[in-house]
Amino acid sequence: MERSSPANHVAKRNCAVIMGDRRRASQPHRSIKEIDEPAKFKSLTVRSASSPGSNREHSRLRTTLGPPSALPGYLGSTSYSAVLAEHRSDIPFEVDNSSAAAVSTRSVDSDRLQMGSEVLKLLYDLPVCDIMIRKYHAQTVITIVPKIVIYSILESIRRVFDSLDANDFESQFQDLVNQIFQNTSRPLTVHGSMTVEQYLSSFTGRNSRWEALGNIFAITGIALMSMPDSDPDFTQAAPDSEAKDRLRAQIVEASGICLGFCDQASSVNELLGFYQYNDVMLTTQQYGDSSYQAWRRLGDLSATIYAAGLHQESTQTDDCPWFLRQWRRVCFASAFYADKSLATFVGRPPLINYRYCTLTPPMDISHEILLAGGSTMTQAISDLDKAGWHVYGTAHPVTLIRLRFLLSIFREEALEMALGTGDQDDLVEKSNRLVEKARNTWDTAPVYLRYDIRADVEENDTYCSSFALLHTYLDYLYTVFLVQRTLVKRTNTGQAALFETSRQVLSYIIRINAERDSLMDMTRHYSWIILYYGLPSASVLTLELLRQSREVGPHAIVLPRAELIRNLSVFLSCLSWVARPGHGNYQTCKEVEKKLSHILDQILDPQPVQAEVFNDATSGLYNVLDWYNPDTWDFNFEYLPSRDGFPV
C-alpha cells in the first residue's frame, strides 16, 4: 500500500462524479475509472485536510448559524418538563405545542448545498448501489433495515432521478438537494393509525431525507466489503483491485458526509438509528473494531437511541402503528447488541446501559407477516410458544436479532463483573447464577437456532444461515468464557469449567477451515472471529498444556492432550489463510501464527521454562508471547488488532 502524507492520502480517496453527465439511471452504469475525473469529492477532502487558516474564503469549516432545534427528543422523568407532563390530565386547559412542533424553513449554506449535490450525484452515477444491496439481502440472513424500507428508498429516488428534465437538469437537481435538506430538518411525524404506505412516503420520493439516502450508502458499503472481487457487477463498476478499493472508500466517505448532514439537522428517529447502526458496521470494517472512528460512531448511535426514546417504551413513544413499534424494537435490539460487542472487544464500559432500558425484544414475527397484518398476524402471534419463539422451523432476520439481543443482556452483566469496580462480594455465586441464566436462555431457544444441535443434523443449510448461527452460538459461549475467566482471575477457582468452555469455542472456531462460501468474501469476518473468539480460548488451552508439559503429574485437571494439539494445529492453519495481504488483520494473524507455533513446538518438545511464567490460566501465556511488546511483534501501527469488522 502506498504511503503518503495524510492530506494526499485523503485526497486520493475522492468520491468522483461527473457533474455534466445527463444519463438516466436505467442506462448501463460506467466503471469507477470512467467517473473518477473530475474528482468532485477531492475538493472537499483536500480543504478539510489543509492547515488551519489556509484558503479561508472556501474553508469547509465555516459554520452557518441557525436557530437551535425546537425538538429536544425524548424527555425522561427527571427532565425540566416532567412534572407538567405527568399531570397533564390535571391541567384545565390544553397546552399549545404548536410553537415547539413548528420547524422553520432554513436557508441551506452554499457549501453544504454543494457537498450535498456531490453526494447525491455519486448516488445518481452509481446504480451498482442498487445491485449490491439486492445481492446483499439475497445472501445475508441478518439484515436490520426491513427490506420494504430500503427498497422503497432505492426505487423512489431512482424515480425522482428519472423525472428530472434533461433540459433543466442542473437547476432541478439543485432544487432536489435543497428539498432533501429541508425534509431532513423537519421531524418525522407518525400516528397510531398510519399505514405502512403512509410511513414509507414520509421519507421517500420528494420527501427523501439524508438519513434515508445514507442507509443506501452504508448498506452498499457493507455489501462491497463482503463481495468477492470476481463478482461481475462489482467488476463492471470497478474493473481492477485499485478501483474496487477506491469505490469502497468513496462509499464510506459518502456515508460519513450524510451523517454530518443529519447531525446538523438535529432530528432523531428510528430511521436515523438504522442508518447509524449500519454506518457503525461499515466503519468497523473500514477502520477496525478498535478504531476511535468506530467507537465515536457507536457513541452517536447510543445518543440517538436515547434521544429518540427507543430505549424505553412509554406514552411518549406509544402513539405509533404496531408495525413501527416492532421495527423500533429491532432498531434498539440491534444497537444494544452492537454496543455490547464493541465494548467487549475494546474492554470499555457499554454506552447503552441495560438498567435504564425496557428490555423487551421484538416479537418473533417476520416482516412479511407483520406487514400483512389482520388475521395473518393474529394467527402468527397465537402460534408463538411460551418463550416467544415462532414454530415454523426456519430462521428469519428478526428471529436472530431477537436471540442476539437476549444474549447481549447477559453479556452486559458479564462486562459488569469483568470491568466494574463495584462490590465483588459473592463473585462465585454471581458467576454461577449468570452462567445458569445464559445457559437456560440458550437451551430454551428453538432447535432451528441452535448451531450446537443443527451442526450435526442439518445437511441442507445455506452457508450464510450456518455462519450466522455459528456466530450467534460463539457469542453465547464467549459470554460464558468471560464470566469464567473473571472468576479464575479474581478467585483462582473454576479452572476446569474455563478449560471446557475454551475447548468448545476452539472446536467450533476451526470449522471455518473447511467451510467457505464462494458467493461472499467472508475473510474480514473470519479473521475477526479467529482473533476475537478463537485466540483467547486457544491461549488459555495452550498455556495449560505448556504448564502441564513442564510439571510432573498427576495434574488436578487432565486435558485431552492429543485432541487439543490437533485442534490447535488446525487453528494455526486458519491463521495462515484467514486474512489476505492488505487486510487489516493480515500481519496480526501472521505474527500470532508464528508465536503460537513456537509455543506449540515447546509443548511437543519441552524445554526448561521459568516457573513465574505461569501466573494463572488466563494471563501467563501473554508473558510467553510477549504480547504487548512492539519490538517482538514488528508490525506497523495500522495493523494493530483488529481492523476488520464483526459480522452484521
C-alpha cell at 230: 470476481
Residue 454 has which C-alpha cell?
A: 443443527
CB atoms under 10 Å from CB of 259, counted, come to: 22
> What would the pLDDT profile of 455-513 be if each residue is shown by its tens digit?
554 555 555 678 888 899 999 999 999 999 999 999 999 999 999 999 999 999 888 76
Using CA atoms of 192, 194, 199, 202 in order, give the dihedral in degrees to the nearest 10. Answer: -100
User: Which pLDDT does position 84 carry in this prediction?
Assistant: 73
Cα separation of 33 and 250, whole Å?
Answer: 13
Q: Work out the burial of residue 192: count CB atoms within 10 Å of its CB; fewer than 13 is exposed, 13-18 middle, 19 or more buried.
A: exposed
CB within 8 Å of 410: residues ≥ 6 apart: 434, 437, 438, 441, 479
The per-residue pLDDT for 625 is 43
Q: Enter the C-alpha cell of residue 159.
A: 424515480
Render 46-75 in DSSP notation, one character per residue.
HHHHSPTTTTGGG-TT-----PPPS-----
- Beta carbons of 280 and 301 less than 8 angstroms apart: yes
Distance in angstroms (rounded) separating the CA atoms of residues 15 and 257: 11
For residues 349 and 343, the answer to whether their CB atoms sit within 8 Å is: yes
Q: Which residues of the chain fall short of a pLDDT of 70?
A: 1-71, 77, 81-82, 86-87, 89-90, 92-106, 315-318, 455-464, 513-525, 579-586, 607-648
Site of grid cell 501465556: 621
Give pLDDT, residue 590.
78
Say what the pLDDT of residue 423 is: 72
Query: Per residue in 427-448, pLDDT tens?
Result: 999 999 999 999 999 999 988 8
Q: Are 547 and 486 in contact (CB under 8 A)?
A: no
In Å, how far are 14, 82, 232, 277 from 215, measured between CA atoms?
A: 20, 34, 24, 9
pLDDT reported for residue 314: 73
pLDDT for residue 395 = 77
* Residue-level pLDDT at 523: 61
Question: Residue 524's pLDDT is what?
Answer: 62
What's the full length of the chain, in residues? 648
Centroid of chain to Cα 296: 13
For residue 530, CA distances in Å to 31, 577, 585, 608, 641 come to 35, 11, 10, 30, 11
